[in-house]
């Protein structure tokens, strides 16, 4: 550092930032624009490193700066620089978003086995009805009422004895599509057979 330089010059950017915050307290839009232009690019880069998606990073930055606009008095100069305060807000929002997304993903994944288990129970009912000679007619009628794609998957499973993976390999249909057709077909079969029993 050049010793001839005044000591306060090192703090000039921070002093300007604090001045912008002071002006923001009075509702100065130019001060807000100045703060935004100064820190938005680095705030977005930080958010994007955490969330890894540009549009989410932009939303986080906008939320953080809106919080600054609405409540500039939340800044406490005793706790650090304006820059660190802003980056802290952005980082916390980004981490919170990642945690929420992760929790949502875990809940969705946890629900899949339960849904498959419930459908497996219904599948057992349909299979039992297939095996009962008195029920074969109503099962065949319910099966023939299904859309062709769903009917074909169920026929391959129950009459040809193929697994969903094998059906996907044989037909070239993605495994997820085979599973969804099975699920939809089983639901329709169950509903149709329940109508017959009434």
Q: Which residue reads 């040809």 in tokens? A: 160
- Could you say which of 103, 124, 155 is where a domain stops? 103
3 state DSSP class of 176 = helix
Q: Which domain holds residue 66?
A: 11-103
Residues 96, 138 within the same domain:
no
User: In this structure, what token pair is assigned to residue 37?
Assistant: 């232009």
- Co-location of 27 and 94 in the same domain: yes
Task: Tell whether 16 and 93 lie within a shared domain.
Answer: yes
Residue 114, Cβ density class (10 Å: 0-12 exposed, 13-18 middle, ≥19 buried)? exposed
Q: What is the CA radius of gyration of the chain?
A: 31
Q: Which residue has the tokens 């969330």?
A: 51
- The model's pLDDT over 79-114, given as tens digits with 9 standing for 90+, comes to 999 999 999 999 999 999 989 888 877 776 666 655
Q: Give Cβ neighbours of residue 179 (< 8 Å, ≥ 6 apart).
A: 164
Query: What pLDDT, in 10s, does the model give residues 2-54?
Result: 444 444 444 688 889 999 999 999 999 999 999 999 999 999 999 999 998 89
In degrees and rounded to multiples of 5, residue 121 shows phi and psi of -60, -45
Share of the chain above pLDDT 90, in %: 37
| Domain of residue 154, CATH code | 1.10.10.10
Q: What is the pLDDT of residues 148-179, one digit of tens each?
A: 998 898 888 877 888 888 888 888 888 888 88
Residue 122 belongs to some domain of the structure: no
Residue that is written with structure tokens 């009434």 in the block = 198
Task: Read off the pTM.
Answer: 0.52
């Amino acid at each position: 550092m050049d010793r001839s330089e005044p000591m306060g010059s090192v703090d000039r950017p921070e002093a300007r930032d604090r001045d912008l915050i002071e002006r923001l307290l009075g509702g100065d839009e130019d001060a807000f624009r100045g703060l935004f232009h100064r820190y938005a690019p680095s705030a977005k880069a930080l958010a994007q490193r955490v969330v890894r998606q540009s549009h989410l990073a932009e939303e986080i930055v906008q939320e953080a700066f809106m919080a600054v606009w609405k409540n500039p008095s939340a800044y406490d100069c005793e706790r650090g620089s304006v820059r660190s305060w802003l980056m802290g807000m952005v980082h916390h929002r980004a981490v919170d978003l990642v945690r929420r997304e992760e929790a949502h993903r875990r809940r969705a994944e946890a629900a899949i086995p339960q849904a498959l288990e419930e459908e497996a129970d219904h599948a057992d009912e349909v299979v039992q009805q297939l095996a009962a000679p008195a029920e074969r007619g109503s099962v065949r009628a319910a099966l023939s009422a299904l859309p062709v794609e769903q009917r074909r998957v169920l026929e391959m499973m129950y009459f040809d004895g193929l697994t969903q993976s094998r059906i996907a390999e044989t037909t070239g249909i993605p495994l997820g599509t085979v599973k969804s057709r099975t699920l939809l077909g089983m639901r329709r079969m169950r509903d149709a057979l329940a109508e017959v029993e009434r």
